Amino acid sequence: IRKLADQSKQSAEKIGGLVAEIQNAINSTVMVTDEGTKTVDSGMEITEKTAESFSHITEAVNNVVMNNQQISLNIHQQASGIQQVL
């Protein structure tokens, strides 16, 4: 009976060690998951800022195109006026 009790005690200690290892692994997994979440959140923020910047760039390019079209129209009108004067 004493031998069986010793074996049971050793088994219980091994189980306790395994449980502790599993808890450590779970804690490590939770920490890695939290870091991953923070990285994803940071990436999303950067992506949103980039999209906003591209939107502003698009708007600026459209303004330049419209201004160039207006300049071109003015040049054609001036050329036409010069032709009439000549």
User: What pLDDT band is residue 1 in, cutting at 50, 70 and 90?
Assistant: confident
Query: What are the pLDDT digits (tens) for 3-30?
Result: 999 999 999 999 999 999 999 999 999 9
pLDDT for residue 86 is more than 90: no
| Rounded-to-integer distance, Cα 25 and Cα 31, Å | 10
Cα distances (Å, whole numbers) of residue 53 to 33, 37, 47? 30, 24, 10
User: What does the pLDDT look like over 25-74, one tens digit per residue?
Assistant: 999 999 999 999 999 999 999 999 999 999 999 999 999 999 999 999 99
